[in-house]
Chains A and B, each alone.
Chain A
């Protein structure tokens, strides 16, 4: 308690000091490693965001600060460094951005450009509305295609009940659209969820993939990367 107070005091002083300010570091909030972790618990800001109405036109302007990495069409990078975001559910974008802003999803590279010090609450709502309105670019990274039958079998056994027959996810349950996502991004995230480094993971999904080998993950991600949703979403 005392330590926490000193840390927040020094953060507060750093924010007030004008000489040689340093960019804020991403906070660290309890995640899946902590007892009592509730996957879909909502912070005050997240609950507010989910009720707000984002504005697509304003979101396009606010997104200027994001497109240096995620690209103007929000297609990200095929090597999976940056995910494809076009057409993603608003709820998923809000939850994941909130988790980065509040430190349940560790991403020190992204935080300086997405934290509360630089993107305000209304802008998050607007950016989510804008991204969700974009058509999926449809040129995502695909896997080698060598193990699609196993990928399909795994998907139908373990994934379809949440992520849907077409990879459409479930907006109401915060399950992402996975159709059209980059293969290498899917692999990286499923591995991180399996291994616990994605601390905002859904424990249900961790249980599903905990015994997956890396080649199982490759097979299912390859199959998923080949799904596509109609553009008129």
Chain B
């Protein structure tokens, strides 16, 4: 009687393997597309536009596996964003791999800190999480320097407004394309103040 459900669970757990295969493609071909399609929002250098716009994240120096997954998810509707849905509509799988490699090869610039008074509490939350509520430290997966790993995205220097917006979207379930909804689980346990502070701290990381 429970068989179909067990099968679904088994399938979904089989899909969650940590390591994404390395992205194969040509960053130069990606650059050609980026200068036509992506630069207006994400910047010619992949660092977004000035002043930082929370809707247009930095893409420079992110892991190519992460960038490719996001592009595929936008295309498949697993990550919902009207602007990006339009942008990826005409991209082929090869285009997306090439773009991921292009942005991954760009240099990350220092982020903008708007509320330096939040950096101490942001650092504490990033490093320790909230043990009382069982919120893991961000540093556990995203690494103490925000550089991420092969399985977790690079965050250092990301626009604070974008990080905050994404935390809110994870908490509301509007963004639900992460592995096992782990980000949603922890964002639901965060306060507004913690989200703001940790976003500022992430934007200060180099």
Q: Taking beta carbons and an 8 Å cutoff, which residues of A are in contact with B?
A: 1, 4-5, 8-9, 11-12, 15-16, 18, 20-24, 61-62, 64-69, 72, 77, 79, 81-82, 109-110, 112-113, 115-121, 123
B19 touching A69, Cβ below 8 Å: no
A81 touching B131, Cβ below 8 Å: yes
> Given contacts A18-B78, A20-B176, A68-B141, are A113 and B182 in contact (CB under 8 A)?
yes
A16 touching B174, Cβ below 8 Å: no
* Complex Cα–Cα for A120 and B16 (A): 7
Contact digits for B141-174, partner A, Cβ 8 Å, 1 yes 0 no = 1000000011110000000000000000000111
> Given contacts A23-B184, A116-B9, A123-B18, are A69 and B136 in contact (CB under 8 A)?
yes
Contact digits for B71-91, partner A, Cβ 8 Å, 1 yes 0 no = 000000110000000000000
If A64-B152, A119-B180 are given as contacts, then 20 extra A-B residue pairs at C-beta distance below 8 Å, sorted by A number, are: A1-B1, A4-B1, A8-B2, A15-B5, A15-B9, A20-B173, A20-B176, A21-B181, A22-B184, A23-B184, A61-B149, A65-B141, A68-B136, A68-B137, A110-B134, A112-B186, A113-B180, A113-B182, A115-B180, A118-B182
* Complex Cα–Cα for A12 and B5 (A): 5
| B interface bracket (residues with beta carbon within 8 Å of A) | 35 or more
B180 touching A77, Cβ below 8 Å: no
* Complex Cα–Cα for A68 and B131 (A): 10
* Complex Cα–Cα for A109 and B135 (A): 8
A23 touching B5, Cβ below 8 Å: no
- CB of A68 to closest CB in B, whole Å: 2
Closest-by-CB residue of A relative to B172 is A20
B5 touching A117, Cβ below 8 Å: no
Closest-by-CB residue of A relative to B184 is A23
A68 touching B139, Cβ below 8 Å: yes
B141 touching A112, Cβ below 8 Å: no
B9 touching A82, Cβ below 8 Å: no
List, in ascending order, chain B residues with CB within 8 A of A5's CB: 1-2
Total CB contacts across the A-B interface at under 8 A: 113
30 interchain pairs (CB within 8 A)?
A: A1-B1, A4-B1, A4-B2, A5-B2, A8-B5, A9-B5, A18-B78, A18-B176, A20-B173, A21-B181, A23-B185, A23-B188, A61-B18, A61-B150, A62-B18, A64-B141, A65-B18, A65-B140, A65-B141, A68-B129, A68-B137, A69-B129, A69-B134, A82-B131, A113-B182, A117-B9, A117-B12, A118-B16, A118-B181, A120-B14
* Complex Cα–Cα for A20 and B184 (A): 10
List, in ascending order, chain A residues with CB within 8 A of B78's CB: 18
- CB of B87 to closest CB in A, whole Å: 21
Q: Is B138 an interface residue (CB 8 A)?
A: yes
* Complex Cα–Cα for A70 and B142 (A): 15
- CB of B111 to closest CB in A, whole Å: 22
- CB of A44 to closest CB in B, whole Å: 10
List, in ascending order, chain A residues with CB within 8 A of B184's CB: 21-23
Contact digits for B1-14, partner A, Cβ 8 Å, 1 yes 0 no = 11011001100111
* Complex Cα–Cα for A121 and B10 (A): 10
A112 touching B140, Cβ below 8 Å: no
